[in-house]
Amino acid sequence: MATDIIMPQLGESIAEGTIIKWMIPPGGRIEKDQPLLEVETDKVSLEIPSPATGVLSQVLVQAGQTVPIGTLLGRLESEQPSTGVINRVGGVVVRPMEPSAAGPDHYSPAVRQLAKEHGVDLSQVTGTGAGGRVTKKDVLDYVARRNVTPTQPSPLEGEGKGGGAAGEEILPLTPMRKTIAERMVKSRQTSAHVATFFETDFSAIVKFREGRTLTYLPFVISAVTRAIKDVPVLNSSWGDQGIIIKKDIHMGIAVALEDGLLVPVVRHADRKGLQQLGREVADLAERSRTKKLNPEEVQGGTFTITNHGGFGSLFSTPIINQPQIAILGVGAVQKRAVVVNDAIAIRPMCYLSLSFDHRVIDGATADRFMTKVKQYLEQSEWEKFL
């Protein structure tokens, strides 16, 4: 019995996805629930499990193509009765969709928004998606071609590896890298970025961690959630009618991947102790790197922390994760000579940075928040927060 493989609905606001790779070749056999293909959207990259045991009989959408949700990607000759369910991702049941009667002129909301931002007439863009549909990649490629000014190559210049000039190599942009680039530029254009820096003594944390497997990050999350309750405007977003204060604290944690960055979210971080925070952060980070996250796990964050110190960095001015209004950077914890009670002492010190949106808060508010974060990190009564 043949089972259709459909591009699944990977989130309410997601209209399309890009095929990164098929895990098995056409004609290959696969077991039920084994990874069948890898899909990437503008929010998450994840592996889609096989809905049945069988043989991949057809591949209709190749790696690198971006298609709308509901598109037929391939067919599986299954070895067991099919229940009609095509795929499950994050609890979403996906079934075949009827072909759209609108034809290639039916553009997804994401494509329309991207075209609007770049001033593109979609009627001039050739679609490479299913049925000639225009995808986000088509729009970005059109913009790239439009912005290139032809130049006469020098007689001394030749083609290098990957199509570049002699001595150069061009690394093709992955969908994730394109999305990151688009979002970072848009964030800079949207928010009035300002940064402030504080130095914090981690002595109490270092002492408390002795004999425990906790990293520094759960302590930072705990301190930040308490500081947010003291200064709630840090947990907000900009709106046309005013500043929108978020009542729930959903902490985004930046996770570095080999080819990009994801920000999974710890829900209701203020309600969780250090040990639970540590377990959830480790789980989210691992599943980010193995592409096992569900789409909803990277949505709904209200504040973000990025631990750039894990790579040895001391200072950073991270870009705000829209539509949030602030992001906290955590530098490496290093022993330094500091003045304590008019004497020189060696203490484990850490630089914290806060990039904030000056449209929403001023420097005094940002510094008041950071003072609270510093105070909570330096206090020694961590037992009650386990």
- Across the strands, what pairs with 257? 260
d(CA 75, CA 72): 8
Place of tokens 């990164």: 20
- Across the strands, what pairs with 328? 305, 354
Identified catalytic residue from 33, 141, 362, 367: 362
d(CA 88, CA 103): 27
Reply yes or no on whether 283 is catalytic: no
Q: What are 162's two structure tokens?
A: 């990957």
Q: What are 159's two structure tokens?
A: 């083609």
Cβ neighbourhood burial of 315 (10 Å; 0-12, 13-18, 19+): middle
Contact criterion met (CB below 8 Å) for 324 and 345: no
d(CA 294, CA 292): 7
68: left (phi over 0), alpha (psi -120 to 50) or beta: beta
Residue 58 in 3-state DSSP?
strand
Reply yes or no on whether 362 is catalytic: yes
Amino acid (one-letter) located at 202: F
Residue 38 in 3-state DSSP?
strand
Contact criterion met (CB below 8 Å) for 97 and 6: yes
Q: ∠104-107-67 over CA atoms, to 5°?
A: 75
List the catalytic residues. Answer: 358, 362
